[in-house]
């Protein structure tokens, strides 16, 4: 074990980068709140059973990717691998269905899956997501997709693709599965081993296998759209109509199926095709059976989850990351040990007046301190030297043009205010 390295698949967000994360979070919250969603903060771990029931026992997440352990009371605990199941649990626990109407929630935070890391995949990663509970109408599906669309738009991402499909309800999906299996069994000899396995367990997933031979086989299989029941068909058509009205471009992908068992009817992904193998930055859909499955009433739901690391990378690729600077406005240097007290006092005064101030702690040569001031990116440097201090003055230097003036101690705040406006957080 190497104690000086973060555990596999985890990483530190350092101050400069954290500024960008804060920016992303602020913007995401802004849009979600504007759409009427309230933030919910659920625990980072839950009873393992919740995920077994919610996500589905035969999914890969549950079978091999969960961080599961026994606590000291012998309970099986799992670090949340996704956000929907915990939100649904909280929805049931707090009986939000009893308040009537719809419930609109969003979450944002770390998730955990014990997978082998690769580009765009970590063991601790971050997602935000929304859940709209209590609505069966296609308006809800459309609102969710539109929300995702507008959100990325708001962040400056205009080149993303939206893939859309319907996986039907429990009834018509069963019909389709039967037809699919029947069609595939005829040519099962040409399928890859993992697809042979999936043939029985989850034939839908076989549709997006990347293996050439499998693709040839599945290319000839029937489309789910030929099997959707009347209600599902109409639901899907209405969703697409609403998206058309809102001018949202999307691509219908009859073969888009998602890995989680709980989806019904609408499923969708938002994809950045420049991202490599892990190119989905958002995935979601309708889950009409999930609340009941988790022990609540039969309440329909629809939502999505978005991976923030992938969002970050996408923003970076598109040159949409903001320029975040942690540079101070004012850098203060003192030329002798005795004068560093004065510098400290001036720093405090300026900070309490709302200026972003950095104080050189070490009294070194003036040249060295000026270098530090320059490197900090400060707009103004305050120099406290013996000459000035004899007359209870300090030098204020504009680091851009090199101009400097001497000012009396009581006038510092006013003089600085003439040059810059407060940007710090402390305001009196």
Partner RNA sequence: GUGGACGUAGCUCAGUUGGUUAGAGCGCCAGGUUGUGGCCCUGGAGGCCGAGGGUUCGAAUCCCUUCGUUCACCCCA
**Listed ranges 98-106, 130-138, 243-251, 361-369: which one lies at the site for RNA (CB under 7 A):** 361-369
Chain positions 74 to 133 lying near RNA, rule: CB under 7 A, are 82, 113, 115-122, 125, 127
Residues 6+ apart with CB under 8 A from 144: 130, 132, 284, 302, 303, 304
**Listed ranges 58-66, 87-95, 154-162, 220-228: which one lies at the site for RNA (CB under 7 A):** 58-66
What one-character DSSP code corresponds to residue 118? B
How many Cβ atoms sit within 10 Å of the Cβ of residue 316? 11
* Both tokens assigned to 142: 């459309």
Identity of the residue, 254 or 352, whose beta carbon is nearer to RNA in the bound complex:
254
Sheet holding 124-133, edge to edge: 38-39, 103-112, 124-133, 301-307, 280-286, 264-271, 161-166, 251-252
* Nearest Cα residue to 383 out of 366, 368, 400: 366
Strands 76-79 and 45-47: antiparallel
Size of the site for RNA (CB under 7 A): 69
Q: Residue from 27, 211, 213, 318 that binds RNA (CB under 7 A)?
A: 211
Q: Residue from 256, 335, 357, 412 that binds RNA (CB under 7 A)?
A: 335
Rg of the Cα trace of the chain? 29
The answer to the question of residue 184 lying near RNA (CB under 7 A) is: no
Q: Residue from 66, 172, 294, 305 that binds RNA (CB under 7 A)?
A: 305
**Listed ranges 134-142, 180-188, 221-229, 366-374: which one lies at the site for RNA (CB under 7 A):** 366-374
Chain positions 219 to 278 lying near RNA, rule: CB under 7 A, are 258-260, 269, 276-278
**Listed ranges 7-15, 33-41, 70-78, 162-170: which one lies at the site for RNA (CB under 7 A):** 7-15
The answer to the question of residue 360 lying near RNA (CB under 7 A) is: no
- Dihedral sign of CA atoms 50, 54, 58, 60 in order: negative
The burial class, CB within 10 Å (0-12 / 13-18 / 19+), for 17 is middle
Which parts of 368-421 are beta strand (E)? 380-384, 393-398, 404-408
Identity of the residue, 84 or 102, whose beta carbon is nearer to RNA in the bound complex:
84
The answer to the question of residue 405 lying near RNA (CB under 7 A) is: no
Site track for RNA across 8-47, x = CB under 7 A: xx-x------------------------------------
**Listed ranges 203-211, 225-233, 241-249, 352-360: which one lies at the site for RNA (CB under 7 A):** 203-211
Which parts of 14-160 are beta strand (E)? 38-39, 45-47, 67-70, 76-79, 103-112, 124-133
Q: Residue from 89, 265, 286, 310 that binds RNA (CB under 7 A)?
A: 310
CB distance 64 to 94 below 8 Å: no
The answer to the question of residue 68 lying near RNA (CB under 7 A) is: no
At its nearest, how many Å lie between RNA and the CB of residue 272?
9
3-state secondary structure at position 407: strand
Residues 6+ apart with CB under 8 A from 131: 84, 87, 88, 91, 103, 104, 105, 106, 301, 302, 303
The answer to the question of residue 162 lying near RNA (CB under 7 A) is: no
Give the binding site for RNA (CB under 7 A).
Answer: 2, 5-9, 11, 59-61, 65, 82, 113, 115-122, 125, 127, 194, 198, 205, 209-211, 258-260, 269, 276-278, 280-283, 305-307, 309-310, 335, 364-368, 370-375, 383, 385-388, 395, 397, 399-402, 404
């Amino acid at each position: 074990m190497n104690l000086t390295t973060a555990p596999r698949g985890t990483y530190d967000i350092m101050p400069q980068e954290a500024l960008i994360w804060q920016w992303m979070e602020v913007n995401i919250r802004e849009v979600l709140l504007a759409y009427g969603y309230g933030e919910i903060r659920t625990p980072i771990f839950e009873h393992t059973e919740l995920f077994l029931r919610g996500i589905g026992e035969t999914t890969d997440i549950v079978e091999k990717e969960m961080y599961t352990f026994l606590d000291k009371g012998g309970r099986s605990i799992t670090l949340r691998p996704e956000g929907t199941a915990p939100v649904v649990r909280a929805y049931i626990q707090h009986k939000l269905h009893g308040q009537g109407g719809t419930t609109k929630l969003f979450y944002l935070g770390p998730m955990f899956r014990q997978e082998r890391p690769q580009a765009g995949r970590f063991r601790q990663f971050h997602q935000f997501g929304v859940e709209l509970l209590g609505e069966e109408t296609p308006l809800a599906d459309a609102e969710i997709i539109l929300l995702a669309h507008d959100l990325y738009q708001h962040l400056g991402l205009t080149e993303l693709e939206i893939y859309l499909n319907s996986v039907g309800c429990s009834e018509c999906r069963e019909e389709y599965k039967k037809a699919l299996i029947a069609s595939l069994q005829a040519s099962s000899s040409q399928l890859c081993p993992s697809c042979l396995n999936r043939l029985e367990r989850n034939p839908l997933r076989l549709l997006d296998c990347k293996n050439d031979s499998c693709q040839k086989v599945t290319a000839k299989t029937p489309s789910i759209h030929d099997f959707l029941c009347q209600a599902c068909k109409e639901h899907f058509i209405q969703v697409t109509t609403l998206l058309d009205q809102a001018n949202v471009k999307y691509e219908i992908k009859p073969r888009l199926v998602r890995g989680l068992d709980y989806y019904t009817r609408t499923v969708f992904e938002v994809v950045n095709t420049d991202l490599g193998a892990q190119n989905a930055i958002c995935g979601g859909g309708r889950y009409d059976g999930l609340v009941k499955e988790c022990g609540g009433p039969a309440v329909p739901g629809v939502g999505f989850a978005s991976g923030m690391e992938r969002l970050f990378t996408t923003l970076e690729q598109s040159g949409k990351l903001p320029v975040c600077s942690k540079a101070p406005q004012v850098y203060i240097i003192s030329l002798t040990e005795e004068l560093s007290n004065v510098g400290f006092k001036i720093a405090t005064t300026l900070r309490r007046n709302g200026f972003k101030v950095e104080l050189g702690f070490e009294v070194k040569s003036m040249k060295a301190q000026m270098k530090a001031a320059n490197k900090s990116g400060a707009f103004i440097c305050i120099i406290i030297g013996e000459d000035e201090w004899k007359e209870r003055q300090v030098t204020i230097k504009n680091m851009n043009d090199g101009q400097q003036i001497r000012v009396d101690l009581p006038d510092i705040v006013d003089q600085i205010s003439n040059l810059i406006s407060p940007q710090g957080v402390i305001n009196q």
